[in-house]
Structure 1
Amino acid sequence: MQAGAPYGIHALAIGAAIIAIVATVSLNFVGMKWLGGLYNRHRERVGGPVGHHSMLHMVFGLLCLHVASMLVFGVGFWALLQVPEAGSIDGAHHAGMFDAFYLSAMTYSTVGFGDLVPKGPIRWLAGAEALVGLMMIAWSASFAFMEMSRHWRDDLR
């Protein structure tokens, strides 16, 4: 634990991490369910396997879910930065929403810390986001693979 940071601030950061985890997993679950239903309705309309262009729509939909997930954590970082003693983002001249979102994108994608690094209790949120991002990316890749293997034919254009 960082010297000087009260237990309550750590509890607040852990609470923010839990809220962001629940929001992100729920968002991705509902979003993938909706995308899968959309994909299946399209398949039923065309009377069989769908073409490559439909898979593109699904991939872009999954990317939108990931961006929304990064935004959830970015808002969490930004909100915690407003709390005294909750931490800081080293490397940011003025840790605003864009820096918080950038840090979130680097953490969610597990690229890692480089030019911006979380310090203090907000690291709880960063650790949770790295785990959730890895899981959500793997989950959406599995989802896309399953949909492709079930419904996609190479001879359709």
Structure 2
Amino acid sequence: MIIIAITTMSLILIAGSLRQIFASLEFEHKIFSFQLFLSILLLYTIVMIGFAIIYVSLIEHGVMVYQEAGQFEPLHWKEEIARSMYFSGVTLFTVGYGEMVPVGVGRWIAIFEAMIGYSLPAALVAKVWQHYKIEH
């Protein structure tokens, strides 16, 4: 039950962050600003941490979500958090170094996270361009 609560809270945080960045673009009067850059950076950080929390909570409840080459035993929870943050970042930015692969339900979560990471820049550019075209 706790895993569902943690996952739900993480997804709400991610969705709220995504909504906030697009809502804040409505009030920008420049095509790009330092504030927008920091907002995007914060958004990516929140999404990365949110998915890392989902991965850690699943792992702590015995669900395998990723596997590291040569690493088969579970780590201490602090090390698992760092490993989940790394896996989340590599997935979000669609880097995929290859030493960690999603398994089981982690495949579907990783697909969803990569989809956000891949489509977010295009969506932001389209939103800024649309706003710019309306003003000019």
Give the structure-2-normalised TM-score: 0.70
- CA RMSD between the two structures: 3.1
User: Are residue 117 (structure 1) and residue 101 (structure 2) matched?
Assistant: yes
Contact 1:73/1:104, CA 8 A, preserved across alignment:
yes
Output the amino acid matched with 1:73. Answer: F
In structure 2, the residue matched to 1:64 is 42
SS at match of 2:82: helix
Quote the residue 2:122 is aligned against: 138
RCO comparison, higher one (Cα < 8 Å, 6+):
1
In structure 1, what is the Cα distance between the partners aligned to 2:90 and 2:98? 9
- Which secondary structure state, in structure 2, belongs to the residue aligned with residue 122 of structure 1? helix
* Amino acid of the structure 1 residue aligned with 2:15: V
Which residue identity does 1:55 align to in structure 2? S
**Contact between 1:21 and 1:128, CA under 8 Å: does it hold in 2?**
no
Check conservation: 2:65, 2:105, Cα contact below 8 A: yes
Which of structures 1 and 2 has the bigger CA Rg?
1
How far the C-alpha of 1:31 sits from its partner, in A, is 2.7
Could you say which residue in structure 2 is the equivalent of 1:28? 18
CA–CA distance in 1 between the matches of 2:86 and 2:122? 21
Equivalent in the alignment of 1:4 = none
SS at match of 2:33: helix
* TM-score of the two chains, using structure 1 as the length reference: 0.62
Q: What runs of 5+ residues in structure 2 fail to find an aligned partner?
A: none
* Pairing 1:74–2:74 present: no
Listed as ranges, the gaps of 5+ residues in structure 1 are: 1-11, 44-49, 153-157
Q: Distance in 1 between matches of 2:39 and 2:61?
A: 34
1:105 aligns with one of 89, 93, 118: 89
- Measure, in 2, the Cα distance between the counterparts of 1:92 and 1:107: 19
Tell me the secondary structure at the aligned position of residue 76 of structure 1: helix
CA distance, structure 2, for counterparts of residue 36 and residue 136 of structure 1: 16
CA, structure 1 residues 115+150, in 2 after alignment: closer, same or farther (shift >3 Å)? farther
CA distance in 1, matches of 2:61, 2:22: 34
Deviates more, 1:105-114 or 1:140-149: 140-149
Size of the aligned set, in residue pairs, is 127
